[in-house]
Amino acid sequence: MTKPTRFLDPTVTVDVVIFTVEDGALKALIIKRAREPFQGSPALPGGFIRRGETSVTAAERILADKAGVKDVYLEQLYTFDEPHRDPRGPVFSVTYFALAPRDEIRIAETAETQKPRFSPVSALPKLAFDHNNIIGYAVERLRSKLEYTNAAYSLLPKSFTLTELQKIYEAIVNRDLDKRNFRKKFKELGLIEPTGSKSKGGRRRPAELYRFKSRKPRMLKKFF
Amino acid sequence: MTKPTRFLDPTVTVDVVIFTVEDGALKALIIKRAREPFQGSPALPGGFIRRGETSVTAAERILADKAGVKDVYLEQLYTFDEPHRDPRGPVFSVTYFALAPRDEIRIAETAETQKPRFSPVSALPKLAFDHNNIIGYAVERLRSKLEYTNAAYSLLPKSFTLTELQKIYEAIVNRDLDKRNFRKKFKELGLIEPTGSKSKGGRRRPAELYRFKSRKPRMLKKFF
DNA sequence: GTAATAAGTGTATTTAATACACTTATTGTC
DNA sequence: GACAATAAGTGTATTAAATACACTTATTAC
């Protein structure tokens, strides 16, 4: 395709905010950059889009390579293109966010991305580029998303207790929820069903285990 | 910036869905393409990003050139990059949507974009590229946006009657709203105030004119 | 004066959200 | 085997928000 040079020919990258909930806190996957620019800085996993890829398939590749998961919840977030966000020149970043249960994720180190780890979104280090902004925006989107969709299923293992479910919500919306109201609301939504078995272990009453009836994204009236 | 060719080097364009409400219907600005591909087809106003521009400033330029407005509501929508959306090759479209009162818009024809007109979103022709998809997505976003923000101010002239305000809402959410409930709700939100003057003309009772206290975007609990 | 038109106004009902505290099942310890 | 510890589980009353619904008023044209 021919195009006069008076047009901007930006480089296009994809960055992915991979969320999970661990120890009652909402966390995002952070890697350490092996190369310039920002060599050694913590950053989001991401990179150039390869030939034959779309931005989604690039995001899926990053998810598979860095977190060892596929078929998880993945949604385009925003395209960041502030002129000086990358010292190399005009670089557009098409960003995505993903949700996965902690126990399905296998963090993997690659040549370009060292020491990957989950960092609580409430205590992130200063990240490369505008990546702090990107995560901030993703957290906002996730919070509002949770209020009118069943997206939380993406953060939970196949079976879970109602208390675990509530803790996920509390971690994301960042406030305590009333136990009885939460359970009432969730049960009448009809999204989950008891598995029939109970949690074991610990010096306490065992809890009923539940599963989501469907793991397809759905819109809902309102959650809490 | 050096980059191996195994990476995708997409062209990046900006397309803008310019919404207004006219004759009680939600409409979007549609132009006719003067060039290939899709020469002669109706399409969204848009084009390449120029050197020195970001996607937002390109969207602002398109708004100024095609609709003669600036400082209107403008929000990034989504980045479309399906591999075959443009016959020329991989073209990313960073899309925006804008809201402006019909009476502030001055439609202008340019060399590349002929016969611009507002078309009701409920009866769009088949558009070039994936532009029908883009508008569909924008309408969805606008509808949900209206439920929890004061964004409607962007579609109204400086002063307006409560009936005009209600008609805008009805046009967008595509259903009738109750007059008494609508007025009650809107008044207690405290976003508008009477100007003191009244509408004139016509064989009917004159209506109180209102204005928005603030024309800044705001988040609200819920609208209707 | 009256016909036509849209403006304007209030209450009762239904539904959803919130606040709130005790009992139960289990395990480990003495 | 009693009891201490722990988290699971459960219902009702109150408050707030959403909805449903119909007549009167101000003006203009004829």
- Give the tokens for residue A15: 């960055």
The verdict on B26 and B97 lying in the same domain is yes
Protein-strand D interface by C-beta, 7 A: A 161-163, 179-181, 183-184, 198, 202-208; B 178-181, 184-185, 198, 200, 202-206, 221-222, 224
**Is residue B174 included in any domain, yes or no?**
yes
A206-223: pLDDT as tens digits? 999 999 998 888 777 666
CATH number at residue B160: 1.10.10.10
**Is residue B223 included in any domain, yes or no?**
no
Rounded Cα gap, residues B11 and A224, in angstroms: 43
Residue B98's nearest CA partner among B224, B14, B38 is B14
Which of the 8 DSSP states describes residue B65?
I
The verdict on B86 and B116 lying in the same domain is yes
**Is residue A137 included in any domain, yes or no?**
yes
Average pLDDT of chain B, as a whole number: 92
The verdict on B125 and B161 lying in the same domain is no
- Number of structural domains found in chain B: 2
The verdict on B193 and B175 lying in the same domain is yes
**Is residue B3 included in any domain, yes or no?**
no
**Which pLDDT belongs to residue B58?**
98
- Could you list the residue range(s) of the whole structural domain that residue A188 is in? 151-212
**Which pLDDT belongs to residue A9?**
87
Could B79 and A79 be called an inter-chain contact, meaning their C-beta atoms sit closer than 8 Å?
A: yes
The verdict on B155 and B142 lying in the same domain is no
Above pLDDT 90, what percent of chain B?
78
- Give the tokens for residue B209: 């004119």
Q: Is B211 helix (H, G, I), strand (E, B) or coil?
A: strand
**Is residue B217 included in any domain, yes or no?**
no
Tally the C-alpha atoms within 13 A of residue B87's C-alpha that lie toward its C-beta.
6
Q: How many CB pairs under 8 A join A and B?
A: 74
CATH number at residue A106: 3.90.79.10
Which among B11, B12, B54 has the least Cβ separation from residue A83? Answer: B54
The verdict on A118 and A175 lying in the same domain is no
Rounded Cα gap, residues B211 and B204, in angstroms: 21
**Is residue A110 included in any domain, yes or no?**
yes
- Give the tokens for residue A136: 């901030």
A173-211 as b/e: b if 16+ CB within 10 A: beeeeeeeebeeebeeeebbeeeeeebeeeeeeeeebbb
The verdict on A184 and A129 lying in the same domain is no
**Is residue A224 included in any domain, yes or no?**
no
B175-219: pLDDT as tens digits? 999 999 999 999 988 899 999 999 987 788 999 999 999 888 877
In chain B, which residues have their Cβ closer than 8 Å to the Cβ of A89?
1
The verdict on B140 and B159 lying in the same domain is no
B30-70: pLDDT as tens digits? 999 999 999 999 999 999 999 999 999 999 999 999 999 99
**Is residue B159 included in any domain, yes or no?**
yes
Rounded Cα gap, residues A174 and A122, in angstroms: 10
B145-164: pLDDT as tens digits? 988 888 889 999 999 999 99
The verdict on A111 and A23 lying in the same domain is yes
Average pLDDT of chain A, as a whole number: 92
**Which pLDDT belongs to residue A1?**
47
The verdict on B114 and B179 lying in the same domain is no
Could A8 and B89 be called an inter-chain contact, meaning their C-beta atoms sit closer than 8 Å?
A: no
Q: Which of A6-10, A14-18, B43-47 has the lowest mean pLDDT?
A: A6-10
